[in-house]
Structure 1
Amino acid sequence: MIGKIFPKSAGSFKNRIRYIFGCTKHDHEISGIRTISFNTMSKDPLPGVLQGNEADLSEMIREFDQVETLRRFAIDSDKPIKPVFHAMLSLRPGESLTTPQWRSAVEEYMTDLGFDETNQYVAVMHQDKDHQHVHIVANRIRLNDDFSMVKDSNERSVSLESVSGIEDRFNLSKAPKPKDTWGVSITHAELQASIRDNDLPLKHKMIAKIAGAIEATNAVDGDMFTFTRLLRRQKVYINLTLNDEGQPKGISFEFGGKHISGRQLKRSRLTWHKLTTQEGIHYDPETIHQLQDEIARRDNEEQERARIYYYEFIAVNGRRRKPVYVRFTAKDYEVQKLIQEILELLDVIFDALFKPKECRLKRNYIEFIPGTPFNVPDEYELTP
């Protein structure tokens, strides 16, 4: 199970409540909606919504919105507040809970986050293709004498602990731990993709690789050169943006053909400034040209892997023969190994059939780079 808390908001509950009951556009397909639980005076609006009638839905929205008005008059305060709470609990594909199980899970989750019976809430399940997820909309304002509000300090860590307990209770798949994403929040679209593919989003894979490179660099008291090499081993490449003095002012990372700036990945840790100050990656401004050369090595290495090579075979028996060519690339290690074994075998065969002085196997090594002419002569002048 994955738990996500959306940004809180001020004002009306209208947009959130209409969203969870399927009245507004979604970024994912909904094959079914089911009301799990609610504690308002108004009745379940879903039957009416399914028939195209939003009267009961409007009544529920009014009931939610009235609480803030009552609080404002009761405590005479103009302090800005954000009473609209929205969270989601998502199961892995193939997992499911019954309505009573979902109701119990929602109650446990809300209690862990500090909500009680005086807080209005409604929970609705969406069946999204092959997995279930429940949206919870709640009012952070309590309907008590002082209209106190549910605190949100440490709510994300509390949410993780609560979800873990629910997973254990219902024997559900465990969600990725914060260390796997380096503390970066996941968008709703990324969350859905993560659940569908049973894998971390690309951005979080990048962060995991970069975080590992930072730790490894610090472990050996390394510098930006060390950091660059460690990233390259993981197929993560960096690109620098220079200021007017020719010094780095920004950094971006590339993985799997995707480029993301350090600021977008995690602005509190992965910008150039944070890497060289907060994260302890040493950098000497005098080495900028050498560093750029180190970064550019990525292109050279990829060009090397793209080169095409040929083994040339010439059998000599007192006459000129056309050579035979075997094509391979630099990364075809197994092919090279096989060729070597064939060469050894041919040496044995020729030594057995002919006198060594009269016949020998001549091997030439020819390199061909795509885009350049490759002309093989029809005949070779043999060396006696």
Structure 2
Amino acid sequence: MIGKIFPKSAGSFKNRIRYMFGCTKHDHEISGIRTIGFNTMSKDPLPGVLQGNEADLSEMIKEFDQVETLRRFSIDSDKPIKPVFHAMLSLRPGESLTTSQWRTAVQTYMADLGFDKTNQYVAVMHQDKDHQHVHIVANRIRLNDDFSMVKDSNERSISLDSVSGIEDRFNLSKAPKPKDTWGVSITHAELQASIRDNNLPLKHKMIAKIAGAIEATNQAQGDMFTFTRLLRKQKVYINLTLNEDGQPKGISFEFDGKHISGRQLKRSRLTWYKLTTQEGIHYDPETISELQDEIARTYSEEQERARTYHYEFIAVSGRRKKPIYVKFTAKDYDVQKMIQEILELLDAIFDALFKPQECRLKRNYIEFIPGTPLNIPEDEEFAL
């Protein structure tokens, strides 16, 4: 089982409740909806919804929304709050629970997170082919004398522990802990984009590269220097944040021009502390200066490789010369192949139109190395 808590929100419960009862578009197919439990005065809106009538649904939404209004009238406070809580409990494909078991699981989960009988809630099960999952929408405002709020500190950790207990109770397969897996959540939009473009999102691509470097470093019994060099081979570069003592306190990774901190990538494994303790990447504080030099060498070596070649092709038709400039970065043996392909392309495109008498490649080229002045030969035909 996997437990996921969605971002909390302010305002009405309308969108969340309509979503869970199938009244708005879903990003997955739903073959069945079942109400698991609720504690509102309004009745179960599902029968009406299935018949196209949302009257009971509107009553439930109104009842949820009224609690914040009551709190605002009773408590003189302008402090913004986010009462809308939305979570999902999801089983692995092939596993299932009865309605009674799901109700027990939901009540256990909510109690562990600090909700009680004074908190409104509604839970609905979606059957997606062979995949059961339950959406829970609850009001964090308690219907008591002081309209207190359910606290959300450490709720992610509490959620993991609660799910583990539910798995044990119903003999469900155990979901791996975040620290034991490189898996990260991916939004539906990111998934669709990766399918369309045949490419994974940048964040997931970075994690895959870093995970491979960690494994290779451990196999080689290497250290932070080894880790840095292995990452560099995959064009992933390290940036360190130092504390007042000049020692690393944070780490970020750069790939394809994008910087993401280890905490944002995967807090349970890729922070500086986790890398040097949990992941076993050895670091000697006495080597910070040498490590900084190694990290800095990343950029100078990358610039050395990133040579830009400017080639000029001249198509001559009568007295008119038509220059075509091609700029690209490649190793020398790749350059020759590319030149041949470009010549063939130019011949195919321009032969019928211009009937060039001469199409030749200049023997010279302009080589640009980032960080150095551009040295252009004094040749009119070569001028850019």
Q: TM-score range by the shorter chain?
A: 0.5 to 0.7
In structure 2, do the counterparts of structure 1 residues 262 and 128 end up closer, same or farther at CA, with 3 Å as the change threshold? farther
- Report the counterpart of residue 26 of structure 1 in structure 2: 26
Secondary structure at the aligned position of 1:161 is classed as: helix
Verify: 1:70 aligned to 2:70, yes or no: yes
Verify: 1:287 aligned to 2:297, yes or no: yes
Q: Give ranges in structure 2 of 5+ residues lacking alignment.
A: 193-199, 240-251, 277-282, 307-330, 332-336, 341-384
Alignment of 1:176-215 (within 5 A): 176-181=176-181, 186-187=185-186, 189=188, 207=207, 210=210, 213=213
Secondary structure at the aligned position of 2:152 is classed as: coil
Do 2:2 and 2:89's aligned partners in 1 also have CA atoms closer than 8 Å?
yes
Do 1:181 and 1:204's aligned partners in 2 also have CA atoms closer than 8 Å?
no
Do 2:3 and 2:159's aligned partners in 1 also have CA atoms closer than 8 Å?
yes
Do 1:181 and 1:208's aligned partners in 2 also have CA atoms closer than 8 Å?
no
Q: Name the CA distance, whole Å, in 2 between partners of 1:226 and 1:264.
A: 16
Do 1:30 and 1:128's aligned partners in 2 also have CA atoms closer than 8 Å?
yes
Do 1:10 and 1:82's aligned partners in 2 also have CA atoms closer than 8 Å?
yes
- Report the counterpart of residue 321 of structure 2 in structure 1: none
- Report the counterpart of residue 138 of structure 1 in structure 2: 138
The amino acid of 1:131's aligned partner reads H
Do 2:37 and 2:124's aligned partners in 1 also have CA atoms closer than 8 Å?
yes
Q: Name the CA distance, whole Å, in 2 between partners of 1:85 and 1:22.
A: 18
Do 2:253 and 2:262's aligned partners in 1 also have CA atoms closer than 8 Å?
no
In structure 2, do the counterparts of structure 1 residues 58 and 295 end up closer, same or farther at CA, with 3 Å as the change threshold? farther
- Report the counterpart of residue 154 of structure 1 in structure 2: 154
Secondary structure at the aligned position of 2:86 is classed as: strand
Alignment of 1:224-235 (within 5 A): 226-229=227-230
The amino acid of 2:26's aligned partner reads H
- Report the counterpart of residue 171 of structure 1 in structure 2: 171
In structure 2, do the counterparts of structure 1 residues 101 and 41 end up closer, same or farther at CA, with 3 Å as the change threshold? same
Identity between Structure 1 and Structure 2 (%)? 70
- Report the counterpart of residue 222 of structure 1 in structure 2: 224
Do 1:118 and 1:144's aligned partners in 2 also have CA atoms closer than 8 Å?
yes
The amino acid of 1:149's aligned partner reads M
Q: Following TM superposition, by how much is the alpha carbon of 1:222 offset from its aligned partner in structure 2, in angstroms?
A: 3.2
Q: Give ranges in structure 1 of 5+ residues lacking alignment.
A: 194-200, 243-249, 254-258, 297-302, 304-368, 373-384
Q: Name the CA distance, whole Å, in 2 between partners of 1:118 and 1:20.
A: 22
In structure 2, do the counterparts of structure 1 residues 106 and 269 end up closer, same or farther at CA, with 3 Å as the change threshold? closer
Secondary structure at the aligned position of 1:3 is classed as: strand
Q: Name the CA distance, whole Å, in 2 between partners of 1:289 and 1:145.
A: 62
Q: Following TM superposition, by how much is the alpha carbon of 1:185 offset from its aligned partner in structure 2, in angstroms?
A: 5.7
- Report the counterpart of residue 17 of structure 1 in structure 2: 17
In structure 2, do the counterparts of structure 1 residues 98 and 204 end up closer, same or farther at CA, with 3 Å as the change threshold? farther
- Report the counterpart of residue 45 of structure 1 in structure 2: 45
Q: Name the CA distance, whole Å, in 2 between partners of 1:30 and 1:38.
A: 21
- Report the counterpart of residue 123 of structure 2 in structure 1: 123
Do 1:238 and 1:295's aligned partners in 2 also have CA atoms closer than 8 Å?
no
Q: Name the CA distance, whole Å, in 2 between partners of 1:54 and 1:214.
A: 54
Q: Under a length normalisation based on structure 2, what TM-score does the superposition of the two structures give?
A: 0.61
- Report the counterpart of residue 104 of structure 2 in structure 1: 104
- Report the counterpart of residue 89 of structure 1 in structure 2: 89
Do 1:228 and 1:295's aligned partners in 2 also have CA atoms closer than 8 Å?
no
Secondary structure at the aligned position of 2:72 is classed as: helix
Q: Following TM superposition, by how much is the alpha carbon of 1:29 offset from its aligned partner in structure 2, in angstroms?
A: 0.7
Taking only aligned residues, the RMSD between alpha carbons, in angstroms, comes to: 4.0
In structure 2, do the counterparts of structure 1 residues 138 and 107 end up closer, same or farther at CA, with 3 Å as the change threshold? same
Q: Name the CA distance, whole Å, in 2 between partners of 1:241 and 1:144.
A: 52
Deviations 1:211-254 (A, max 9, x none): 5745948974432x64232685xxxx225699xxxxxxx9544x
The amino acid of 2:109's aligned partner reads Y
Q: Name the CA distance, whole Å, in 2 between partners of 1:107 and 1:34.
A: 16
Q: Name the CA distance, whole Å, in 2 between partners of 1:158 and 1:260.
A: 37
Do 1:85 and 1:139's aligned partners in 2 also have CA atoms closer than 8 Å?
yes
Do 2:237 and 2:298's aligned partners in 1 also have CA atoms closer than 8 Å?
no
The amino acid of 1:283's aligned partner reads Q
Secondary structure at the aligned position of 1:136 is classed as: strand
Secondary structure at the aligned position of 2:235 is classed as: strand
Secondary structure at the aligned position of 2:57 is classed as: helix
- Report the counterpart of residue 263 of structure 1 in structure 2: 260
Do 1:64 and 1:120's aligned partners in 2 also have CA atoms closer than 8 Å?
yes
- Report the counterpart of residue 36 of structure 1 in structure 2: 36
In structure 2, do the counterparts of structure 1 residues 38 and 117 end up closer, same or farther at CA, with 3 Å as the change threshold? same
Q: Name the CA distance, whole Å, in 2 between partners of 1:239 and 1:103.
A: 47
Verify: 1:238 aligned to 2:197, yes or no: no
Q: Name the CA distance, whole Å, in 1 between partners of 2:105 and 2:304.
A: 53
Deviations 1:146-205 (A, max 9, x none): 0000000000000000000000111111112111356x8624549999xxxxxxx98568
In structure 2, do the counterparts of structure 1 residues 130 and 264 end up closer, same or farther at CA, with 3 Å as the change threshold? farther
Deviations 1:311-360 (A, max 9, x none): xxxxxxxxxxxxxxxxxxxxxxxxxxxxxxxxxxxxxxxxxxxxxxxxxx
Secondary structure at the aligned position of 1:164 is classed as: helix
Secondary structure at the aligned position of 1:78 is classed as: coil
Q: Name the CA distance, whole Å, in 1 between partners of 2:28 and 2:172.
A: 23
The amino acid of 2:178's aligned partner reads P
* Structure 1 stretches of 4+ moved >3 Å: 187-193, 201-206, 211-222, 239-242, 250-253, 259-262, 264-270, 278-281, 288-291, 293-296, 369-372
Do 1:207 and 1:265's aligned partners in 2 also have CA atoms closer than 8 Å?
no
The amino acid of 1:186's aligned partner reads S
Q: Under a length normalisation based on structure 1, what TM-score does the superposition of the two structures give?
A: 0.61
